[in-house]
Amino acid sequence: MNHNAFAVPPLEALLFDVDGTLADTEDTHRVAFNAAFADAGLDWSWDEALYAQLLRVTGGKERIRYFIDGHVPSFRPDGDLDAFIAGLHREKTRVYVQMLGRGELPLRPGVERLIRDARDNGLRLAIATTTTPDNVYSLLQHSFSTDATGWFELIAAADAPALRDAAHAAKGASSSVGAIPLTACLRDLQLAASAADWNRIATLLPQIDAAFIDLERFVEMLRET
């Protein structure tokens, strides 16, 4: 077999998600939601089983609305519901950032070493995520051994135009190495970000992760032969 026909150029960049990738953040998010509810005088409490169901909904504000519609449909806030939900979410974000600032959320094992090695080898680094910018920057500032904000060339956090541009750049890189499934996923991500379709974006991110893994396995196969 002529493996030269499948030669893959050197890796040039790494694109990271945040929640569940850099750190296992979800339970910290859940605790912050509950703290925000308590601060607002609500008796709502999201346990782990309920939160696992709510995670099927993309976005914190959307998650709150889904919970109200499905679990407390008779609830009526004083004033506009959208404004109430936005206020709850701001408080949740404030609590979450405070928890990160206290060092309560470690990175997943090996993440910092991987990123440091990538930087040392000249790889370009970027983050694309649907979580809020405050959450991302606080994680980079407090969960790494040093402030890692400057390590990433692009941070697209809950920012559809930036995510669109990141997907476009990554699509070009994957196309250049012949990674057809990954390129297709990134093209779809670029289109979804252009339309600010966060539900579609959320469904695409696991597909992109899987395509990256398939490409990595293919490269390892070539190395072993």
Rounded CA separation 139/117 (Å): 19
Q: CA dist 11 to 74, 78, 114, 162, 195, Å? A: 54, 54, 14, 22, 29
The Cα 59–Cα 88 span in angstroms is 13
Is 134 an active-site residue?
no
State the catalytic residue, choosing from 17, 134, 197, 209: 17
What gap in Å lies between CA 174 and CA 171, rounded to an integer? 5
User: Out of 19, 159, 165, 188, which one is annotated catalytic?
Assistant: 19
13 CB neighbour count, 10 Å cutoff: 17
Q: Which of 75, 144, 157 is nearest to 106 (CA)?
A: 144
Active site residue 78: no
Hey, which residues are catalytic here? 17, 19
